[in-house]
Amino acid sequence: MKRFDTIEQLCRAAGAPADDTARAQAHSRWQSLAHPLGSLGLLETMLEDAAALTGSPRLDFSRRAVLVFCADNGVVAQGVTQTGPEATAAVARGLGAGQSPVCRMAAAARCEVVPVDMGILDFAGAPGVLSRRVGNGTGDITRGPAMTAAQVRQAILTGAELAAGQAAAGVRLLATGEMGIGNTTTSAAVACALLGRPARDFTGRGAGLSDAGLARKVAAVTRALEINRPDPADPLDVLAKVGGFDIAGMCGAFLGGAACGVPVLADGLISTVAALCAVRLCPGAAKAVFASHVSAEPAARAVLQALGKTPLLTAGLRLGEGTGAVACIPLWDMARAVYAESYSFETCGVEAYQPQEGGL
């Protein structure tokens, strides 16, 4: 198993260039199959990107897992959520017991669910939940930083270690998820800091806030940015000041996937914000980031655009837990089935299509 002792070492490993030869071989494979060229759209290009990441056109996604990073956020004290932090622990127990929505979806997709306690408030642990606690919840970002510089580094390295461990166990497709009351507030703050937008543009209703609740949430994000003054040129500073243990852990998972040559499926806003932090830390990590869907949260499209990623699904999803990422796994299976098993132009006796000027 690959080990990373420092963020700098992790970023060096994650920044290795993609394999253009493997990408070209995957592209040639698609072109040889009996179908109009490029007619499977993103399903084709995502497998070409996966080949470039893994270094081989022989793709196997039979082992897959979703890492669900769970943590609490001190900003909940500002009335920015419908429920209190006790909900994080309750859902974490459900994840460990295999009862939550992502668990049922993952069972249908033949995907293992790995819940991780990164810092659930006053959580004594539960069967099936890995303990990787960085702290007992984060600080209230409207009053000061969410965490220390040491904690953000620990959380990122923990996420990378988890991704590397999955790769060493034979997992060839990773999905990211999260559970943490208040984390649409922290993710909005991180997105605002990184993309230079005001809170009113990027702050959404999360799990269904009222107008009054949304106003409190916008005010909390605004206050957090004013008090902490995160440096947009320094993703570690942004994460430490207005992020969360879950976002930092997912950031590490994207970096770990890039370092180990494993595709990592981003989920919704919180996950894609983590991916953006990873790419800002190490631009080469973008090769491991694969968008699953576009969240209903207002910052979602802007974050995907900043990443240069196109989602497979547009279904108005906003549940979290990695549900959107897991929902697109069957599309990966279908794409690979065609790629690996479909007949060629030669086999079916049809003259091969040729790229033409103005064609797709």
Helix (H, G, I), strand (E, B) or coil at 289: strand
Helix (H, G, I), strand (E, B) or coil at 325: helix
Q: Are the C-beta atoms of residues 119 and 72 closer than 8 Å to each other?
A: yes
Q: Exposed, middle or buried by CB within 10 Å (0-12, 13-18, 19+), for 70?
A: buried
Buried b (16+ CB within 10 A) or exposed e, 232-264: eeebbbbbbbbbbbbbbbbbbbbbbbbbbbbbb
| Closest to 174 measured CA to CA, from 231, 101, 116 | 116
Query: What global pTM score does this model have?
Result: 0.96
Q: In angstroms, rounded to a whole number, what is the distance separating the alpha carbons of residues 338 and 40? A: 10
Model pLDDT, residue 357: 66
Find the mean pLDDT for residues 125-141. 98
Find the mean pLDDT for residues 160-176. 98
Share of the chain above pLDDT 70, in %: 98
How many other CB atoms sit within 10 Å of the CB of residue 144? 12
Find the mean pLDDT for residues 77-96. 96
| 57 HSE (CA, 13 A, CB side) | 15
Residue 160 pLDDT more than 90?
yes
Q: Is 226 in the active site?
A: no
Amino acid at 341: E
Tokens 């869907």, residue located: 293
Q: Exposed, middle or buried by CB within 10 Å (0-12, 13-18, 19+), for 24?
A: middle
Residue 85 pLDDT more than 60?
yes
Tokens 């703050």, residue located: 189
Catalytic residue among 321, 341, 346, 351: 321
Q: In angstroms, rounded to a whole number, what is the distance separating the alpha carbons of residues 341 and 33? A: 9
Residue 348 pLDDT more than 80?
no
Both tokens assigned to 266:
């981003």
Residue 359 pLDDT more than 70?
no
Residue 276 pLDDT more than 70?
yes
Length of the chain: 360
Model pLDDT, residue 184: 97
Per-residue confidence at 277, pLDDT binned at 50, 70, 90? very high
Model pLDDT, residue 207: 82
What angle, 0 to 180 degrees and rounded to 10, lies between the N-to-C axes of helices 42-54 and 20-32?
A: 140
Q: What share of the chain is helix, strand, coil (3-state, %, to 5)?
A: 50, 10, 40
**Assigned CATH for 7-59+337-348:** 1.10.1610.10
Model pLDDT, residue 252: 98
Residue 10 pLDDT more than 60?
yes
**pLDDT tens by residue, 291-332:** 999 998 999 999 999 999 999 999 999 899 999 999 999 999
**pLDDT tens by residue, 32-83:** 998 888 899 999 999 999 999 999 999 999 999 999 999 999 999 999 999 9
Q: What are the extents of the domains in the chain?
A: 7-59+337-348, 64-334
Per-residue confidence at 358, pLDDT binned at 50, 70, 90? low
Backbone angles phi and psi of 344, in degrees to 5: -95, 170
Mean pLDDT over all residues of the chain? Answer: 95
Model pLDDT, residue 95: 98
Find the mean pLDDT for residues 138-166. 98
Model pLDDT, residue 293: 97
Model pLDDT, residue 253: 98
Find the mean pLDDT for residues 237-266. 98
Strands 64-71 and 264-266 come out as unpaired
CATH fit for domain 64-334, picks 3.30.390.30, 3.40.50.10210, 3.40.1620.10, 3.90.1150.10: 3.40.50.10210
Q: In angstroms, rounded to a whole number, what is the distance separating the alpha carbons of residues 249 and 247? A: 5
Q: In angstroms, rounded to a whole number, what is the distance separating the alpha carbons of residues 246 and 310? A: 23
Amino acid at 307: L
Residue 110 pLDDT more than 60?
yes
How many other CB atoms sit within 10 Å of the CB of residue 342? 15
Per-residue confidence at 258, pLDDT binned at 50, 70, 90? very high
Q: In angstroms, rounded to a whole number, what is the distance separating the alpha carbons of residues 295 and 110? A: 23
Per-residue confidence at 346, pLDDT binned at 50, 70, 90? confident
